[in-house]
Each structure stands twice: as structure tokens, then as C-alpha cells.
Amino acid sequence: MSRTLIVAAAQTGPVARGDSRPAVVRRLIALLREAHGRGARLVVFPELALTTFFPRWWMEDAAEIDSFFEREMPGPETRPLFEEAQRLGVGFYLGYAELAEQAGRTRRFNTAILVDRAGRIVGRYRKVHLPGHRDHLPDRPYQHLEKKYFEPGDLGFPVWRSMNANIGMCICNDRRWPETYRVMGLQDVELVLLGYNTPIPSVMTPQYDHLAAFHNHLSLQAGAYQNACFVVGTAKAGQEEGSNLLAGSCIIAPSGEIVALAASKGDEVITAACDLDLCAINKRTTFNFAAHRRVEHYRLITERTGAAPPAG
């Protein structure tokens, strides 16, 4: 039986600070319907898809900060997306800011969920690699305050068996780290789903702004090839509250090739028919981990966080 799954990346254009949740959800539903019309059974929405990319602003008022977070999922404003996806029989990935009450503590995460075709949340991922800074940098036009507004994820990089595929998730900056994909690769991942908001100019590396699109695809293609899996990367793109967000949503095959690529900076659906059995080619040969990995030489990867020069 063929394991070909039509997957969609549902890129969105900018979301303004004043856009209501119901208005954003209506846009997501329109993209979902378009993807379904093109045969997609799994749709990937961006990181923090329900709001503007608020870590660009220094905020101190707790109520203002919390207005960007979801306390329940689905809640009254997001439920229509779940209902429509269930009606259409389409699974989806959705990124949002999660406010969780855990063991008497309020915790905030940059989160993505995997929803199956029956509208059930079957997977939850909390962003591990939080970029940026936690202090106010008033000389900069924009901040990148993910380290202030979110805790690092506490769930690792699980892979779920759902929709007849081994599916993993990550979020934006995670895509630049080979460890992200390798941990999922070791769980036989076939599809890595991720959303991103990549502001240009970058607060961290303005020297590389002209290479932002290249580095995006380089990271996604390397992750797909080296772990023999498909990768779906979905942007929130365009001029958002004066900040330019990288577009370039794409679907990558296990060969490392880009098989679908967004052409615009706005709301746009791209699709690819992903034959999941193609993952087996490199999983059985070049990247047969059981046959070729030499874990006795990889200890530093988990023992040391920062780089240190050689002794002597």
C-alpha cells in the first residue's frame, strides 16, 4: 500500500497587533480549506500563528504580555479551526504561545501541537532553542525577547506515530541545530514539521541578513538529508508591524531537495505528495544509524554545552 501523503505548508502573511484571534483563525481556516481542496491531509501552520511576533517588543505589563498567550487549546476562539479540520479530515500543526498552570506554577512556552484528523491533540512540543536575549536593548529598533517571555521547552523532541507516519515537531530556531533532527532521526522520524518567524534585519547577526533565505533552506535541507526524512517549514512572512519576516516556506524531500516552495510573502498554500517510503532509501544505506554511527566518539555532544579550545 502506498504511503504517499499530501502535505501542505500554510504560510501566512503578517498578523498585526490589533488583529483579533477570530480574524486570524478565519485566515487559517481559509488556508486549511485550500490545502484540503488540493488533496492535503496534513497542514503545517507557522510558529506563533495566532498573534503577531510579540517578542520584538519590550513589555512589562503582565496583562499585556498574557494577552498573547493561550490558556486552553482549543479555546472558544480556536475551536472553529479544530472543528473544520475534523470535518475535512485534515490533521495539522499549529504554533502558539502557551500559558500552562503546572504544579501550582504559571509557565509560558513557545509551543506547537499536532492534531490528528479526528481533531484530537496527539502531540505537544515546546521550543527548546530560544534565541535572542532577555534584557531590554533600547538602542535597537526591535528586540528578540524569546528568552524573557518563554521558558525553554521541557518535553524534548518526541516523535509520534500518527496518520500512518512517524511525525516530529520543532519550532523556528530549532531548525538550525543538527541535534534537533538527530534526536528525532533516532526515533525513525519520517516527517519533521516546523513553523518559523525569522525577522530581517536580525538582532543577532545583521552581517548575514543577505543570506537569511539561504541559511533557512540550508538548515532544513541538511536536516532532511542527514536524517532521511521530509521536512516541512512554514513561515509567517512579510512586513509585520514594521518588521520584515522571511518567507520561503518549503517542503524538503529525504534527498535534501526542495520539492515545494512558496512564491509570495503572504497567505499561501504549497503542497507536495510525500512518499514516506522514500525515507527508507537513506535510512537503510548511507544513514543506517545502527550500522554506521560511532556513539563512543560523540560524548562531548551531551557532556559539553559551549565550545572550548583544545588544551595546550
Q: Does 173 bind ligand CDV (CB under 6 A)?
A: yes
CB 167, min distance to ligand CDV, A: 21
Is residue 244 within the footprint of ligand CDV (CB under 6 A)?
no
Q: Which one of the listed residues 47, 146, 190, 268 is annotated catalytic? A: 47
Task: Pick one of 198, 227, 234, 244: the residue that binds ligand CDV (CB under 6 A).
Answer: 198
How far apart are CB 22 and ligand CDV at their closest, in Å? Answer: 24
For residue 178, state whether it binds ligand CDV (rule: CB under 6 A).
no
Of 84, 170, 172, 268, the active-site residue reads: 172
**How far apart, in Å, are the Cα atoms of 118 and each of 150, 161, 169, 184?**
30, 15, 19, 24
Closest CB 93 distance from ligand CDV, rounded Å = 15
By CB under 6 A, what part of segment 125-164 binds ligand CDV?
Answer: 131-132, 144
Binders of ligand CDV in range 32-51 (CB under 6 A): 47
Stretch that binds ligand CDV, among 24-32, 56-64, 195-203, 258-266 (CB under 6 A): 195-203
- Which window, 9-17, 135-143, 193-201, 274-282, contacts ligand CDV (CB under 6 A)? 193-201
196 belongs to the binding site for ligand CDV (CB under 6 A): yes
Smallest gap, in angstroms, from Cβ of residue 140 to ligand CDV? Answer: 12
What does the CA dihedral 168, 220, 13, 241 come to, rounded to 10 degrees?
Answer: 100
Catalytic-residue membership of 172: yes
Q: Does residue 176 interact with ligand CDV by CB under 6 A? A: yes
User: One of 70, 84, 98, 127 is an active-site residue; which one?
Assistant: 127
| Active-site residue flag, 47 | yes
Edge-to-edge strand list for the sheet holding 243-245 = 199-200, 243-245, 238-240
Q: Which of 40, 50, 172, 220 binds ligand CDV (CB under 6 A)?
A: 172
CA 62/CA 16 separation, integer angstroms: 20
Nearest distance from residue 151's CB to ligand CDV, in Å?
A: 15
197 counts as binding ligand CDV under rule CB under 6 A: yes
Active site residue 70: no
**Minimum separation from the CB atom of position 196 to ligand CDV (A):** 5
Catalytic site positions: 47, 127, 172
Q: Which residues bind ligand CDV (CB under 6 A)?
A: 47, 131-132, 144, 172-173, 176, 196-198, 202
